[in-house]
Copies of this chain bind each other. A is one copy, B any other.
Amino acid sequence: MTDARFDALCIGNAICDVFSHVEEDFLVRENLVKGAMRLIDTDEALTLYGKMGQTVRVSGGSAGNTAAGIASLGGQPAYFGKVAKDELGETYAHDMTGTGVHFKTTPLVNGVPTARSMILITPDGERTMNTFLGACTEFGPSDVDQEIVAASAITYMEGYLWDPEEAKKAFLAAAEIAHQNGRKVAITLSDAFCVDRYRPEFHGLIKDGVVDIVFANDHELKSLYETADLETAISAAEATGILTALTLGENGAMAISPQGRVKVDAQTIDEVVDLTGAGDLFASGFLFALARDYDYKIACELGCLCAASVIGHVGARPERSLKDVALQDGFSI
C-alpha cells in the first residue's frame, strides 16, 4: 500500500444490527418493501421491535462491516462513525477495536442513542432493513480527522451518508482532504432506494471527480442510470472513465474501467443464510487488493471470496479470519 498507514478509511453510519427471522407474510402484514432499507423514527422503531421475536445483535453499518472485513484479511483499516455513549455504542467500539480497526470517533454524550437497524431475514436469506439513525445524525465534518484521511490509501464512504444532513458535509470534506494528499476516494451506492433519493448528487460526485471509484450492485447501477437493462448500465459506467466495482450476486462481480471489463464468477456456497453484508464484504476484499496494488481480477476474486464467507451465517461481520479463508483458497496475500 505504498506509503499509506491505512489500506482504507471507511466512513459510514455506525449502526447496531438487530436481526430476527420472519416469514414472508410478516413483511406483507407490516407493509414493508422486501430487500429495502428504510429509515424509521423512534415510534416506528418501538412498534416494530415489539412485533419481532427472538433477536441476534451484531455490530453493523455498511462501511463498518467493510472495515471489519479488511481487518480480518490482515489489512490496516480505519473507521469514522458516530455512536452514543451507551451500551450499544460501547459494544460497537469494542467490536471495531477488538478486530483491529482504528476507530477513535468521539461518541455522542447526552443525546440520542446509538443507531440500530432492525433487520428482518426471510427464509430465502434476503434482508429487509428498518433503520433508526440515532447518533449518526450528529456525525459531521468536525469528526473528520485529517491525519487519518491523509494516511489512508483509499477513503471509502457510504451513499447512506447522504441521509443525515451533516454527514454529507463530512463526506465532501474527507474527499477533498484525500485528494489533496494524493489519495483515492470511493463511494458505495448503498442501495437502489438510496440511489433513487440522491441520483443527481451521485452523478455530480462522479462527473466532478469527487469520487474515483464507485461500488455498486446490479440493482444500484441500473437505478443510477435509470435503466432496466444491465448492459446499458454497464456501458454508462464505462463512459464515466472511472473504476466501477460491480457485484452481480450469484453471477459474481465485474471491474469496469478504461482498461476494459474484468469479470469473475461467484464462489459456490452450500447455503445462503443471510445476505446481509455480502456487498460490504466484497468491498473489503476489493479495497484491500486495490490498496496493495493487486490487479482488478484478484480484487474481484478476493471480494467474491469475502462475500461468500459472510452469507453462510447471520450477521454481516466475519466469524472466521478472512486471511485464513483466503490463504486456504490459494490466495497469496
Contact = CB atoms under 8 A, between A and B. Distances in A.
Q: Please indicate which of the listed interface residues A59, A98, A123, A315 has the most CB atoms of chain B within 10 Å of its own CB.
A: A98
B56 A315 contact: yes
A56 B54 contact: no
A91 interface: yes
B313 A314 contact: yes
Contacts of A53: 95, 98-100
Nearest to A114: B87
A82 interface: no
Interface stretch (A25-33, A166-174, A224-232, A316-324): A316-324
Interface in A64-112: 68, 86-88, 91, 94-95, 98-100
A181 interface: no
B319 A54 contact: yes
Interface residues of A, number: 33
15 contacts: A50-B94, A52-B98, A53-B95, A54-B59, A54-B95, A54-B99, A55-B94, A55-B95, A56-B58, A56-B314, A56-B315, A57-B58, A87-B87, A270-B271, A313-B314
A21 interface: yes
Given A52-B94, A52-B98, 10 more contacts: A53-B95, A53-B98, A54-B318, A55-B94, A56-B56, A56-B58, A56-B314, A123-B320, A270-B271, A313-B313
Q: Please indicate which of the listed interface residues A88, A95, A315 has the most CB atoms of chain B within 10 Å of its own CB.
A: A95
Contact of A91 (B57, B59, B270): B57
